[in-house]
Amino acid sequence: MTKRPARCTYLQSVPVIAALAVACTTATAQRGLVFSGGCGSRFATDRLYEVDLRTGTMTDLGEWVECDVEALEFVGDRLIASSETSAATPGGFFDFSESPGVPIGSPARRSGVDHDLAVDPTTGILYALHGAELSDPSASWLYTISLDTWLPSLLGSDRSAFADSIAINRRGEAYAVDSVFLQRLYAVDLQTGDLSLIAPMDIPFCCGVTGLNAAIDFDDQDDDLLWMVIGGFGSNFSRVFTIDVTTGETTFIANLDPVLPGRNGFDVDSLAIIPTPPCVADFDRDGSLTVFDFLAFQTAFDAGITSADLDEDGQLTIFDFLAFQTAFDAGCP
């Protein structure tokens, strides 16, 4: 049996996330990672931050190997970043799991400047959604990204919107926003790249503000809770919202901490929700502790599945049963 660390152990051992990791039995507010990139732009900081999305409180995680990160996404137990790409500049991928990050794969050109990454939890496929080149501002391109070579494969394009941020929930439902030009919410066809308008987004406080950067990601515990951080292009506007995916209605949650001297806003280019460590005892992941968790653990143990190695010693033994019993008795937050 191949040894594989549990997510809790991983989160506490990787430098970029270690300061953010909590014990599996501790409940925390929802947190995300954002990057403010511009490679020297006076409206950005070229730094990675951890954000408490419910309060807007930000923790500076420093500078990284790439200064113009457009997208962040957790791919398995790795934090993957992607840099800006255009017809003249091939975009690259980076593993940000450890500071200051390392390049992975070979840079490759993809249409569109602004973009975002999202993994479909139902298939494990990584997608990249790109907004158009500046000469073609009403178009979007959808790619899959190989997790072996990090090279793109074009699925299709849509000429109705500059959609440059994408999020996929655990049901495999994909959504995108065009915040730069139209401020609208769309459903995304992951087979063709077609966009279907859901509704305009009613964003308070932004009357007269154009050219906003937005980044979206789904809550990892609630498939209907879509988070959005928004700001950019020099506006005094950097805030956290949630979006109703059926109506496009937005709810203001918090202001992001000012991080630029003399300004209340700054560019926000990406958002990756930090995975919540699972409750060990809720083995069937139904949100409650019942006899079915014992049955699910027994089934995994009998099949030799690594998830049953709760004491993480590389073997399935009676001590794993004892670890499960202890976790079950302790309950879930």
Averaged pLDDT, 262-271: 70
Going by pLDDT thresholds of 50, 70 and 90, the confidence category of residue 87 is: low
CATH classification code of 8-20+28-273? 2.120.10.80
pLDDT in tens, 193-242: 999 999 998 775 554 444 577 899 999 878 899 999 987 655 556 889 99
Mean residue pLDDT across the chain: 80
Q: Say whether pLDDT at 14 is over 50.
A: no
What residue segments make up the domains of the chain, in order of their start? Answer: 8-20+28-273, 291-330
Report the range of poorest mean pLDDT among 4-8, 47-51, 111-115, 223-227.
Answer: 4-8
pLDDT category of residue 40 using cuts at 50, 70 and 90: low
Confidence of residue 266 (pLDDT cuts 50, 70, 90): low
Residue 65 has a pLDDT of: 85
% of the chain at pLDDT higher than 90: 39
Query: What's the pLDDT score for residue 226?
Result: 96
- State yes or no: pLDDT of 53 exceeds 90: yes
Q: What is the pLDDT of residues 149-178, one digit of tens each?
A: 999 999 999 988 889 899 999 999 999 998
> Is residue 2's pLDDT more than 50?
no
Confidence of residue 43 (pLDDT cuts 50, 70, 90): low
| pLDDT the model gives residue 233 | 52
Higher pLDDT, 151 or 37: 151
Q: Model confidence over 225-234: pLDDT tens digits? A: 999 998 765 5
Query: Which pLDDT tens digit goes with each residue over 273-285?
Result: 998 777 888 888 7
End-to-end CA distance of the chain: 31
Report the relative pairing of strands 184-188 and 195-200 from DSSP bridges.
Answer: antiparallel
> In the predicted model, is pLDDT for residue 128 greater than 70?
yes
Instruction: Output the pTM of the full model.
Output: 0.77
The confidence score (pLDDT) of residue 240 equals 92
Mean pLDDT of 245-266: 77
pLDDT exceeds cutoff 50 at 189: yes
User: Confidence class of residue 79 from pLDDT cuts 50, 70 and 90?
Assistant: very high
pLDDT exceeding 70 applies to what percent of the chain? 78
Residue 182: predicted pLDDT: 78
